[in-house]
A and B are shown apart, each in its own frame.
Chain A
Amino acid sequence: MFIFFYLLYICLKLICIRVNSLCRPTAYRTSSNQLCSSKVFIQRDYSSGTICKFQTKFPSELESRIDEQQFEETIQTLNNLYAEAEKLGGKSYLEGCLASLTAYTIFLCMETHYEKVLKKIARYIKDQNEKIYAPRGLLLTDPIERGLRVVEITIFEDRSIGSGR
């Protein structure tokens, strides 16, 4: 009886090890496909001051991957969204005054206007990645993940090595 359970235990352990090795990300497998990446960084454009704005200059590394116009449109839309977040106007003043009157406790219950726009930006980037960039082997990283310093574009190259090892 004990021998039976012991053998069962050994079998289960072997199965688990096998499943784990199958579940490892593609890049670990010594298979014929290897995904490699390089990165391009779109820096900030400070010509209009300290507002969040990215350079629309088209990087040469992306020339073979995507239209210059498409890229510029993406960056310009991002710039417009950030401008909307940081806009000084009646609505932001109202929010600021209301917040200072409530000693900023109001933000425990509601989001700031900036945070709402950041969520909009995250959705836009996800959408752009799914529709335009991922099919071309590119990935846009949300600038907020990089402290609003850069727009990081990862370029994936599918380098197929010959069959078998």
Chain B
Amino acid sequence: SGCSPCPPPPPAAAPLPPPPRRLRPFNTLDPLPSSDPDPPCEGSRSPRKKWQVFPGRNRFYCDGRIMMARQTGVFYLTLVLILLTCGLFFTFDCPFLASNLTPAIPAVGGVLFIFVMGMLFRASFSDPGILPRATPDEAADLERQIDSAGCSRPPPRTREVLINGQAVKLKYCFTCKIFRPPRASHCSLCDNCVERFDHHCPWVGNCVGRRNYRFFYLFILSLSLLTVFIFAFVITHVILNPSQSLTLLCTVLEVVVCFFSIWSIVGLSGFHTYLISSNQTTNEDIKGSWSTKRGKDNYNPYSYGNILTNCCAALCGPLPPSLIDRRGLIQSGTPQTVSQSNGTSNSSYASTQLHSNMVGEGRRHTARY
């Protein structure tokens, strides 16, 4: 209530503190030098991009176009396994199969391989649906609302909402200072709240959430097809042409990788097919949120009622844009997120905000990533 008085003007130097060194980009994948990474001196600062001051534990590459979790070791293992197995298949088995059976085999294998890699990269490198943290003003407003809600200590940090007749509790996230939307969850590994959080997948090196669930699902589905495909044709090759030791060694390696992969990946595909058809997330299924064991009247309020609509919604529904605007430029005067708050209030820029659409201008079309 009441009007906040104007603070004294900010110092002449740029208002933002330089980001900690560990947030500096790993520009190993970027062939062209992007905008000047190190500000040469205080006087001539090039504008920083938002990914450089992102508060979560993510890594950014290619000037913010690519984002992943912090631990990416298992992702490289996934890459190596897929590339190695496919490489051996195309080098040692395909020549024989193409000449003796049909050239369609390496062609189909090639298409499947490209699709698998495409989906893997898309699932790994895109924003899973991270919710940006609250601005200081928002956080303060929420705190006021929570504290004024009751005299009891501690004040309630949940809100109950009725969704399609089912009571759902919205929890307050202490890190992000927001009430999490339904189905959102905070990933402790990435330190972000993610919309429609499914799980954090180390194999993919990223969280799986609203924006990349379909890529993840298509990846595991196509990978199971590819694995079965390779397994079947490697066995065919061995049966039709028992061969020398080197090819036999490669064949054994392929068969072993495929055999174990089939059990795990096909199983996972089946599980996610069930989740999609019932419109649940892994998180909800594990917790048993909509299980009838919790109560007779417990049901999933998000399900559309029939399997086809659920599947279409999950796989073919509209793809929401990224909410974090990684590659946008940081405008001096835009409110920084809570963890970066340094006392700069934007009320002193009131008159410029009225007349310029700078907040809208700062947003780039790269939101699609």
Chain A interface residues toward B at CB < 8 A? 24-28, 34-39, 41, 43-44, 46-50, 61, 85-88, 92-93, 95-97, 99-100, 103-105, 107, 111-115, 118, 122, 125-126, 134, 139, 141-142, 144-150, 152, 154-157, 159
Contact = CB atoms under 8 A, between A and B. Distances in A.
A142 B360 contact: yes
Given A86-B318, A115-B368, A46 B3 contact: no
A150 B323 CA distance: 13
A159 B4 CA distance: 11
B348 A148 contact: no
Q: How large is the interface on B (under 10, 10 to 19, 20 to 34, 35 or more residues)?
A: 35 or more
B3 A36 contact: yes
Chain B contact surface mostly: mixed
B137 A122 contact: no
B347 A36 contact: yes
A147 B323 contact: yes
A47 to B, nearest CB: 6
Given A36-B347, A39-B141, A144 B161 contact: no
B367 interface: yes
Contacts of B360: 122, 125-126, 142, 145
A20 to B, nearest CB: 10
A79 to B, nearest CB: 15
B368 A148 contact: no
Contact of B348 (A28, A88, A111): A28
A86 B196 CA distance: 15
Given A38-B4, A103-B115, A147-B131, A47 B161 contact: yes
Given A36-B347, A100-B315, A142-B359, A111 B9 contact: no
Contacts of A147: 131-132, 323-324
Interface string B176-217: 001101110000000000011000000000000000001100
A47 B9 CA distance: 43
B350 A27 contact: yes
Contacts, number: 163
Contact of B137 (A39, A88, A113, A142): A39
A146 to B, nearest CB: 7
The listed residue with most B CB atoms (<10 A of its CB), out of A43, A118, A142, is: A43
Interface stretch (B21-29, B162-170, B282-290): B162-170
The listed residue with most B CB atoms (<10 A of its CB), out of A24, A126, A152, is: A152
B162 A47 contact: yes
B347 A92 contact: no
A145 B363 contact: yes
The listed residue with most A CB atoms (<10 A of its CB), out of B119, B131, B161, B321, is: B321
B134 to A, nearest CB: 7
Interface in B105-147: 114-115, 118-119, 122, 131-132, 134-135, 137-138, 141
B313 A88 contact: yes
A38 B138 CA distance: 11
The listed residue with most A CB atoms (<10 A of its CB), out of B118, B135, B178, is: B135
Interface in B313-345: 313, 315-321, 323-324, 334
B240 interface: no
Interface in B1-47: 1-6, 9
Contacts of A134: 354
B352 interface: yes
Contacts of A35: 6, 350-351
A50 B302 CA distance: 8
A37 B368 contact: no
Interface string B304-319: 0000010011011111
A37 B3 contact: yes
26 contacts: A27-B348, A36-B350, A38-B1, A39-B141, A43-B179, A50-B183, A61-B1, A88-B318, A93-B312, A93-B316, A93-B317, A96-B317, A103-B115, A104-B122, A113-B318, A114-B321, A118-B367, A125-B360, A134-B354, A144-B321, A144-B323, A144-B367, A145-B360, A147-B131, A156-B354, A157-B3
